[in-house]
Chains A and B, each alone.
Chain A
């Protein structure tokens, strides 16, 4: 059981603050999440899929966010929600983090499982991974939820199998390490 104090939260906000583009991605994810969860004031929300950029000229999709298209260098970019899946490239179980929130919750409750996923549409993503998925090459479904700072992170679970329950439990731990 760990207590999340206001000073934990403010240190986490400093260390985990996003770029302006990353903040935009969070706002868009929240807007998509509204009809799913019905709560916009709550720190808890959940969206199926991921938010990233698409080139208005050549249609390339890419992540992490950037100011121009990596294929044709156009600056005409738009944000898009992609609900496709991916394939698990690798995983790690994180016991020690330089971030105090992740370090303490890994030490006192359970280590975080981090995955790297190759999305079917190209981008490679870091994700919080459901611990029941471990085989490299597994099919993966992706969701977006807020972390302790309110900014968005990607949650991945095995495709098809009790997705929402696993996702909700990881999402709950991300805003409150105890998961309640």
Chain B
């Protein structure tokens, strides 16, 4: 990142890190590892919400003058023999309340949620399948994706079952990787002559569904009006939307809660080729999402953000879109017991150079 931006290491005076597998090290361990002195540091451990929440914090720090250039990085790696142990001991509620039922990891809670969504809204497996097929098409030009071969509905439906109704292609593939962005004042980016985007608005909400036995909303609808007002944009004006897709049901729920359509209706606007709410194409998970690229732990919470930044600076690693001016990115994270607790979203726009 520093090389692309033409910055020397000492010019980066802020660091925001998200990583599950960094332990026992912490963000400040990395300051010593990288041999840098910092004016500002933050470690955001919010799973799939980490990227947006971290950039939101970094933007406020830069605006307040606490730091000039903040590197925001999410990265993880997992040893296969440690994976079960790490996921099964994610929280004390997990240890006592869910792991004993054979469900270390997120597939069981999301299988239960998927079935509840199907019952509530009369959805079918095909509704989720269309999303997976659409995203896989987007991944074909994205060299970094682990799964790039085209997916058919028959292959989706007949894939090995993991936790019903979830099959193999409903579950992200764990992998190693990292994503990151630099956050700085606009004038600094202009002086450096590097392509950049503007952060127009962002929001976060945690434990929004407390008190609900089987929630089908997780917090985005609580802040969406404020988010769109701050950005001076409406959902029907968004060119790109990158939703957090650890499981297909979450992608649909985010599109609904963020106001692209009514609750339970997202799949009606979704074909194997496009997402078209409001009679207009919105480019969805343009690099294929985690369902195609794999989930590199907390870096998965940065993927929608970095892909949107690349698209809006004409630096996409594949599948570059034209005529796109803005993007909405959303994140979701932390199954502490039976539901994800952290919902977040941001709106960014292209800077006209």
Interface residues, chain A, with chain B CB atoms under 8 Å away:
14-19, 21-22, 25, 63-66, 89-99, 101-103, 106, 111-112, 114, 116, 118, 124-128, 136, 147, 151, 153
Q: Give B89 Cβ to nearest chain A Cβ, in Å.
A: 8
Bound complex: CA of A15 vs CA of B81, how far in Å?
12
Supposing A98-B83, A118-B214, A124-B338 touch, asked if A90 and B113 sit within 8 A by C-beta, the answer is yes
Tell me the bound Cα distance from A127 to B100 in angstroms: 9
Q: Which residue of B has the minimal Cβ distance to A118?
A: B213
Contact yes or no, A97 B96, CB < 8 A: no
Separation of A63 and B338 alpha carbons in the complex (Å): 12
Between A and B, 24 residue pairs with Cβ closer than 8 Å are A18-B95, A25-B96, A64-B92, A64-B337, A90-B214, A92-B111, A92-B163, A92-B166, A94-B108, A94-B163, A96-B107, A96-B160, A96-B162, A98-B83, A98-B104, A99-B88, A101-B102, A102-B102, A106-B102, A118-B213, A118-B214, A126-B101, A126-B338, A136-B116
- Which residues of B sit under 8 angstroms from A21, Cβ to Cβ? 92, 96
Mask, B65-91, CB within 8 Å of A = 1, is: 000000000000000000111011000
User: Within the complex, what minimum Cβ distance (angstroms) separates B161 from chain A?
Assistant: 5
Return chain A residues, CB-CB under 8 Å to B95.
17-19, 22
A63 and B102 contacting across the interface, CB-CB below 8 Å: no
Interface of B is mostly: helix
Given A64-B93, A92-B163, A118-B214, 11 extra CB contacts under 8 A: A18-B95, A64-B92, A64-B96, A90-B116, A90-B119, A91-B112, A91-B115, A92-B112, A102-B102, A126-B97, A126-B103
A147 to B85, CA, bound (A): 18
Q: Shortest distance in angstroms between A132's beta carbon and chain B's nearest beta carbon? A: 16
Establish whether residues A151 and B100, one from each chain, have CB atoms under 8 Å apart when the complex forms.
Answer: yes
Q: Closest Cβ of chain B: how far from A119's Cβ, in Å?
A: 9
Query: Which secondary structure dominates where chain A touches chain B?
Result: mixed
Quote the shortest CB–CB distance from A96 to chain B (angstroms). Answer: 5
Residue on A nearest B212 in the bound complex, by CB:
A124
CB distance from B12 to the nearest CB of A (A): 37
> A95 near B161 (CB under 8 angstroms)?
yes
Chain B residues bordering chain A, tally (CB within 8 A): 37
- Do A93 and B164 touch (CB < 8 A)? yes
Provide the residues of chain B in CB contact with A112, threshold 8 Å. Answer: 101-102
Partner of B102, one of A22, A114, A116, A136: A114
A16 in contact with B213 (CB, 8 Å): no
Question: What is the distance, in angstroms, from B281's C-beta to the closest C-beta of chain A?
Answer: 33
- Cα A17 to Cα B84 in complex, Å, equals 13
A15 touches B213 (CB 8 A): no
- Measured CB to CB, the residues of B under 8 A from A are 83-85, 87-88, 92-93, 95-105, 107-108, 111-113, 115-116, 119, 160-166, 213-214, 337-338
Nearest Cβ on chain B to A110's Cβ, whole angstroms: 13
Taking the closest CB of chain A, its distance from the CB of B22, in whole angstroms, is: 21
**Residue among A18, A64, A90, A99 making CB contact with B115, cutoff 8 Å:** A90
Chain A residues with CB under 8 A of B164: 92-93, 95, 111
Contact B100 A153 (CB under 8 A): yes
Residue of A nearest to B162 (CB): A96
Chain B proximity of A4: nearest CB distance (Å): 15
The interface residues of chain B lying within 8 Å CB-to-CB of A125 are 97
Q: Write the nearest CB–CB distance from B1 to chain A, whole angstroms.
A: 34
- Smallest Cβ distance from B112 to chain A, in angstroms? 4
Candidates B85, B92, B98, B163; contact of A66 at CB < 8 Å = B92
In the bound complex, residues from chain A placing their C-beta under 8 Å from that of B92 are: 19, 21, 64-66
Contact A99 B163 (CB under 8 A): no
Given contacts A93-B164, A112-B102, A127-B101, contact A98 B214 (CB under 8 A): no
CA distance A99 to B98 in the complex (A): 12
Q: Are B161 and A93 in contact (CB under 8 A)?
A: yes
